[in-house]
Structure formats: structure tokens, C-alpha cells
Chains A and B, each alone.
Chain A
Amino acid sequence: MATDHKLLSAEGIEVELGGKQILRGAALELERGELVAIVGPNGAGKSTLVRAVAGIQALSAGRVCWSGRSLSGIRGRELSRLRAFVPQRMPVPAGIDVREAVTIGRSSHLRMLGRLTGADREAVDDSIARAGVGRFAERELTTLSGGELQRVQIAIGLAQEAPVLIADEPTSQLDLGATIGVAGLLRKLVTEHGLAVLLVVHDLALAMAIADRVVVVADGQTVASGEPEAVLTPERLAAVWGADARLTEHDGRTALHVAWLDTAIAVRAP
């Protein structure tokens, strides 16, 4: 399906929260089948930016278009089929098992009191399989580990059958093994299933390893966008994070080398 419009294009995004300006003219684009990592210091506005383009956070100025259509005219179930938003950590209610939770993720496809059709059940099964949660699909959410729960959240998002998955710091509370699992899952969803993914992430080595493109957010603005190697230069790490650090890649392994105890740059940073 050829179209001139980008899947997502947002510009001049401004957001005010409780009288404080969080975003001041941020921009973001996303193409089909692309994994974009959004990185930046704490409080820079990364999460607010993805929430704004997802239609979860109201804008005070700016324009968000999904496939050329203005976000402001899109509501309800139509919005749910454009993008799925996977929060950092959802509440874990008692008495709900994994399959039920994923089925809730399917609910925007149903009429108000309509029942699940065969196609809906298939979509739920498919989401469970793709997110790799089939092994514990009948277990209650309260019994899952952090990594398992994060995969379930992704499965809930997949059940929406939207072409875009937006994940807000999905790995920030996970151990190394679980982080690798979630990172691999997100990459696979893009490479094998053709999804586009917006990933908010702190781990720069992880971003470099799996992202097609990196967008750097600092002080409420998007200050750089491009291939990881081109964007995450030592100069930018120093300017944005105040770190004496550099990223390296060798044999598909990425590493962030940091001068942990050199405070000279940190003192200069904003």
C-alpha cells in the first residue's frame, strides 16, 4: 500500500503539565517497519513525547499526524487500531490470568456487549504466541516475574492489531536476561512481523544494538535523529548526559564505555 504519508509525523509538540513546560517544540517521525529508540536524560520529556503522539497526553501546541490524518480527529476504537501503548508498568490486578488480560487488549475490536468471534480468539492466541507468553498463559498476573509481566504487556498491545507499538521504558526494571528477552522480542516484531516500534529507553548500548534510528530528547526538545552510530557520538554523550563515554560495536555486541569517576564533564553539564 503505497502512500506519500509517513506512518507518524509530529512537529512543534508542546506539552504543559501542572504549569510546567515539559515539551517545547519536539518533533518525531516514524516509518513503517522501523524501530526508533527515544533516548535522553531523566526529565527530558521522552515519555511525555510518546504519550503525546499516542494521544494519551493532551498537547498545548503542535501537530501530530498518523498516516496524514490529524490525531485530534481520531478517537476511541479507531485510535486503538492506529497504535498500541505499552506502559512502563501496569497495575497487576488479582484474579486476572494472562489470557484474560490479553483478551482485554482485544476489547477495542468488539462491540459494546458483543462476544469474541473466532477471529478475535485467533488474534488473542496469535498475540500470546508472538510475545512468547504461551508457556504461562493460564497463570494469574500476580504470579509473574517482572520480565514475564513485561512480555504480557506487549502481548496486550499486540492484541490491538495496530501497526505501531509504543513501549515506554519496558526494560528499566528488568534484569539482564529479561532485558535481552524483551529487546529481542521488540526487534523480532519489527523484522519478522513488519511492526513499527517506538521505544523509550535509557540503556544506550541496547538502543544502539536494536534500533534502526535513534532520537535524542533533551530539555523538552528533540536535538538529534539518525542512525545510532551517527547520533550517539562521544561529543553528544558529553553534551546531553554530561558523560565522558563512548559506544562501541563489535560482532553484534555493543558496549558503553564510561569514565565513571571523571567528574570534569559532569560539572560542566547543564
Chain B
Amino acid sequence: MTRRTLVLAGLITALVLATLASLALGAVKVPVSEVIDILLGKGHGGPNQQIIESLRLPRTVEALIVGAALGIAGAILQGALANPLASPDVIGVTAGSGFGAILIIILFPGSIALLPVGALSFGLLAATLVFVFAWSGRNKGSVGKVVLAGIGMLSLFTAATTGLLAAYPDRAPSAIFFIAGGLTSSGWEEMQTIWPYFAVGFIVALALIRPLDRLALGDDVAASLGSRPQLIRLGAGIAAALLAAASAAIAGLLGFLGLVVPHVVRMAGGSSSHTYVVPASAIGGAALLAAGDTLARTLRAPIEMPVGPFMVVLGVPLFLWLLRKAV
């Protein structure tokens, strides 16, 4: 109990620090006290307030939401499939979203505003196909079928993406930023179309916390408790697909986060109870992405680098250090 509380307290502290850093740092440095004043509505106008309100606040909020979404998506998929390797990649969402976005970037560069919609819709399409194949025929909804159907879809969409990039090599560079994963300072516009998908994903994930704990003790125990194991798995798959596809629409392909964050919080807290792992993964994912994004745009300012590689640089050493002590 104490160890979990300690980890949660640490994660919340990291979250607050990362959020403040993300708001304060950038090409123009704003003192933290002024950032807090502006957040509390006590700003004095001027350029700093404008920078924070119209550029950094939307970007920071996006980082927090996407980080939390990917952390939760990984946590519930690993729980539902009882597989430590599960992540939104495995159910084909990431590859589908990648294809949808690259399709817009390469074939319709004039309608780049459609990129989030493309990423979202193809991500969900890929997940739908995985569910349709995994839930048909015998042994429907088994872990093996979901994972294998997911890997099939992953290969298919990755091949399609590679094909597109190879066919239009001159346009490929503009796709790099999306593939690497990164946030942009484009205000609230993207979030305005995408937020309902996040909302539904978060609510379903919240409702699944207790059923996932039952599932951890096996399908029979879950059934004894009146749950339907296949339904829990399907719900977790849908919520994870919504969260991951919506994340890709906002921030490109950041698959690493969903895989690693739940493991880190499990190892650090010494518990795999979903009442702990799901909220901790949300907080940890949000803190990690906000911190990574701040680094990515300040280290070589004014050049912005994609956050994906930075997050990996931040996260992998911690992950490996914890892994060393794990069984």
C-alpha cells in the first residue's frame, strides 16, 4: 500500500513539474510565478500571456491527454490480453493510423488539415478488422486470435505505408515528423474534432478497471463473478483503439509509451492491481510526454524535434533499470 502511494505521489509531482516546465520553457522563457498567475486568470495581458494561452497551453494539454491515453491504452490491453507485450501496436491501431496519416500527407498534401481524421479513421478501421477476424469462427475472442489478427493487420498497414513512401520518395520527408511522433503548436483546433474519442475511451477504460482485475485471476474466476470474459476483452480492445487512434491523430506514432509506461508503474509500485496500474499509467504517461515534449522543443530551440525519440531516450534507461530488478 505504502509503496504504491509513494509511487503515485512521485508521479503526481513529476506531472506537476513537467506541466509547469512545458508552460514556462520554450523560445521565450516565462517565470513560473507568472505562468501560475496566468493559469489562475490573474495575468496582466501582454505577449507572455498570449504565448501561454494560445500556444503553450493547448500544446501542454495535448501532451497530457495523449500521454495519459497511451498509458491507459497499454495498461488495459496488457491486462485484457494477459500479455506483457500487448500495446496499441499489437492490435494494429498504430499501423492503421500511420497509414491513414501518410495517405493524406503523400496523396493529398493540399488537404493536410485532414491528417487527424485520416489517422483516426484508419486506426479504428484496423482495430475493427482485427476484432472482426478475432471474434469470428471457433474460439472467438481468444488472446491468441486477437494477437495474431493484430499482427496480421500490423503487417498489412505497415506494408501499405512503406509502399506509399517508396512510390513518392520526394514527398516522404514530410511524413517523417508524423512517424517519429510529435506535438505541434497548432492551438485547440485538432482537439476540437478529436476530443469525443478520447472521452469515450477514458470512460470505458475507467469502467473496465474492476473487470480487468477479475480477468487477471482467469476467465473462470471472472465468470464466477458474473462477468463475461470475452466482453471485457472486447471492451478493452475498443477503448484502447479509440485512445490510441485519437492519440495518433494528435501526436503521430508514439507506440513506445503505451508499451513501457504500464510496466514501469507495475515494477515501481510492486503491484499489478488495475485500481493502481490504470491511474498510475495515466499520470506517468502524461508526465513523460509533457517532459519529453518540453525537451524536444527546448534542447535545440528554435528547432523543434519530434518528441518520440526524446521520450524513448528518457524512458528506456528507467525501464531497463527497473527491468534489471524484475523477475
A binding-site residues for B, Cβ under 8 Å: 18, 54-56, 75-80, 83-87, 90-91, 93-96, 100-101, 104-105, 107-108, 110, 112-113, 153, 156-157, 160
In the complex the two chains form, is B221's CB within 8 Å of A156's CB?
Answer: yes
Check if B173 is an interface residue, CB within 8 A of chain A: no
| CB < 8 Å A-B pair total | 81
In the complex the two chains form, is A80's CB within 8 Å of B224's CB?
Answer: yes
Check if B272 is an interface residue, CB within 8 A of chain A: yes
**Interface residues of B, count at CB 8 A:** 24
Q: Which residues of A contact B82 (CB under 8 A)?
A: 91, 93
Check if B5 is an interface residue, CB within 8 A of chain A: no
CA distance A260 to B109 in the complex (A): 81
Residue among A96, A104, A108 having the largest count of chain B Cβ atoms under 10 Å:
A104
Q: Which residues of B contact A86 (CB under 8 A)?
A: 224
CA distance A55 to B217 in the complex (A): 18
- From known contacts A80-B225, A108-B225, infer whether A156 and B271 are also in contact, taking CB-CB under 8 Å: no
B197 to chain A, nearest CB (A): 22
In the complex the two chains form, is A85's CB within 8 Å of B220's CB?
Answer: yes
Contact of A56 among B138, B224, B270 (CB under 8 A): B224
Q: What residue of chain B has the Cβ atom nearest to residue A94's Cβ? A: B272
In the complex the two chains form, is A95's CB within 8 Å of B270's CB?
Answer: yes
Q: Which residues of A contact B209 (CB under 8 A)?
A: 113
Q: What residue of chain B has the Cβ atom nearest to residue A162's Cβ? A: B224
User: Which 9 A-B residue pairings sit nearest by Cβ, starting from the closest?
Assistant: A95-B272, A87-B220, A80-B226, A85-B224, A90-B218, A76-B226, A56-B223, A108-B225, A93-B216
17 example contacts (A-B, Cβ-Cβ < 8 A) are as follows A77-B226, A85-B221, A91-B82, A93-B82, A95-B266, A95-B271, A95-B272, A96-B271, A96-B273, A104-B216, A104-B217, A105-B225, A107-B213, A108-B225, A112-B207, A113-B209, A156-B221
In the complex the two chains form, is A90's CB within 8 Å of B220's CB?
Answer: yes
Q: What residue of chain B has the Cβ atom nearest to residue A111's Cβ? A: B210
* Segment 259-273 of B: residues with Cβ below 8 Å from A: 266, 270-273
B162 to chain A, nearest CB (A): 37
A136 to chain B, nearest CB (A): 17
